[in-house]
Amino acid sequence: MGVKKGLVLLEEEASTGNICFSQYRQLAHYFSLLCFLLTIITLLLTLCLVQTTFMFQSQSTEQKTKLGDLINRLEKLNKSYQLLFSQYPALNQYCPVSNSTTGDRKCSLCPAGWTPQGDKCFLFSQDRAEWISSQYRCMTLGGAVATVRTEEEQVFLWKTAQGLSQGDSYWLGLRGSAHGRWQWSDGTDLEEGPK
């Protein structure tokens, strides 16, 4: 019996050892499967990261190229802008520099010192001169003595001149013709005036 009992114990130990060995083997199998899956996931994440990095680098390069092109275009436009103002100095009257730091300009309908009314500009000069001299001065400034075309213009000119005059008067573009009729400086008759 002693041998039989020893044999049973050995069989029990062997079977217990087989169970433990089988469990360790199964655990090692799961662990290696887990390592394999983690390796695959790591490789996929690395691939995605490399692809994303490459995509961002190509977009960054493209954006830098576009930015460089835009900067070049801006510089060309600024040169054209400066050339325009140097070739046409009269533009400085209508578009003076409003910010000397940036060189920005603010354009207006009329040059500085002129008064806008509708689509016209009027200069109420404080200089005293005869009609012919006044007409010549207006021409040198790029204008003409005032020709009244509408009642609105007539009222505007009268009120503005009255407010500025201090008893003085202003010339209009009206003169006597050789035919004894009154004409505007553009050659139209007075009767064709304010409408």
CATH top class, domain 123-192 = alpha beta
Tell me the torsion sign for CA atoms 55, 58, 63, 64: positive
pLDDT tens-digit readout, 75-88: 998 888 788 777 77
The residue-averaged pLDDT of 66-75 equals 91
Start-end of H helices in 88-130: 91-94
pLDDT band at residue 172 under the 50/70/90 scheme: confident
Confidence grade of residue 102 (pLDDT, cut at 50, 70, 90): confident
Distances (CA, A) of 22 to 33, 34, 41, 172: 16, 18, 28, 118
For residue 188, the tally of other CB atoms under 10 A from its CB is 13
Predicted local confidence at residue 50, as pLDDT: 92
pLDDT digits (tens, 9 = 90+) for 104-123: 878 888 877 888 888 888 88
Cα dist. 61→54, 146, 171 in Å? 10, 61, 66
Q: Which two tokens stand for residue 83?
A: 């050339």
Would you state the pLDDT for residue 150? 86
More confident residue, 39 or 140: 39
- Residue ranges of domains in the chain: 1-81, 123-192
Spatial CB neighbours of 122, under 8 Å, sequence gap ≥ 6: 114, 115, 116, 146, 157, 160
Q: If you average pLDDT over residues 173-188, what whole number do you get?
A: 79
Higher pLDDT, 37 or 89: 37
Average pLDDT over residues 36-50: 94
Task: Extract the tokens encoding 25.
Answer: 């083997």
Q: With 0.75 as the threshold, say if the pTM is over it.
A: no
